[in-house]
Amino acid sequence: MKIVTYNVNGIRAAMGKGFIDWLTATSPDVLCIQETKAQPDQIPTMDFTMAGYHTYAHSAEKKGYSGVAILSKQMPDNVVVGIGIPEYDKEGRFIRADFGDVSVISVYHPSGTSGDERQDFKMKWLDDFQNYITELKKERPNLIICGDFNICHQPIDIHDPIRNAKNSGFLPEEREWIDGFMKTGFIDTFRYFNDQPHNYTWWSYRFHARENNKGWRIDYIMAAQPLENRLQRSVILANAYHSDHCPMITEISDQ
């Protein structure tokens, strides 16, 4: 199973930059999208159907904001939208699809960059998300969590850890959270295969950041510990240019 995560920063904008051609060429079995920024009737479901994919989406109530989706070649056995907490679910941040014994989640964690209120919201979400996943694992132990976590885990994951130490996305409490989350039984699949620096998934549109590779690795595919012996590879696809993020892929074996 080839699983890709991609924050597209607006699915309609990405479609205008050759997204369908990229999707066809990459041919993932499951694609987890974040920041669709589209209402249900604005998601190009027909184009995805023509490309061979079933489409499942969770849009935010606010237009042009947030939103997640899962595209899959195989029809899932079950799809769950939201985590059952209205203040989060109205922002379109979570969708899950079950394929046999494996559950794939597309999640978009909040950003705290707009001020203290949203940073507080982010930290509360992280705690509630942790609690939700802890309970879900009892029912669905083979979880794969794909998405934009809006957190760099280690100094190796950000181009300038010193100057960004007090910025949202690299705050000590955020890094502590992601560290604790992984210790509950999750594998950062990219780091499982690659311990090299200068591997990022997001770059600012300012100051030629992408050209100079001054980025942040804030997009993850986390695999629950029971899936460790099924992990095949995990790679950042840095040559995709439909967004200020780039996608990453993780492959797992059937058994």
> Crossing angle for the helix pair 116-139 and 172-183, nearest 10 degrees?
0
Spatial CA neighbour of 110 closest among 102, 121, 100: 121
Q: How far is residue 81's CA from residue 58's CA, in Å, rounded to a whole number?
A: 6
Q: What is the 8-class DSSP label of residue 62?
A: S
Which residue type sits at 85? I
The two three-digit tokens of residue 82, written as one number = 């939201």
Which residue type sits at 81? V
Query: Using 50, 70 and 90 to split pLDDT, how confident is the model at 39?
Result: very high
| 148 is an active site residue | yes
Q: What is the pLDDT of residues 170-207, one digit of tens each?
A: 999 999 999 999 999 999 999 999 999 999 999 999 99
Q: What is the pLDDT of residues 48-84, one digit of tens each?
A: 999 999 999 999 999 999 999 999 999 999 999 999 9
The overall pTM is greater than 0.95: yes
- The one catalytic residue among 148, 157, 188, 219: 148
Q: Where are the alpha helices (DSSP H) in the chain?
A: 11-15, 19-26, 45-50, 86-89, 116-139, 172-183, 189-193
- Contact assessment for residue 103 and residue 76, using Cβ atoms and an 8 Å cutoff: no
Q: Say which residues have a Cβ less than 8 Å from residue 186's Cβ, sequence separation at least 6.
A: 143, 145, 222, 223, 224, 225
pLDDT of residue 26 exceeding 90 = yes
Q: Say which residues have a Cβ less than 8 Å from residue 110's Cβ, sequence separation at least 6.
A: 91, 93, 118, 121, 122, 125, 150
The two three-digit tokens of residue 143, written as one number = 């979880």
pLDDT of residue 255 exceeding 80 = no
pLDDT of residue 75: 98
**Spelled out in words, what is the top-level CATH class assigned to the domain 2-252?**
alpha beta
- Contact assessment for residue 8 and residue 36, using Cβ atoms and an 8 Å cutoff: yes
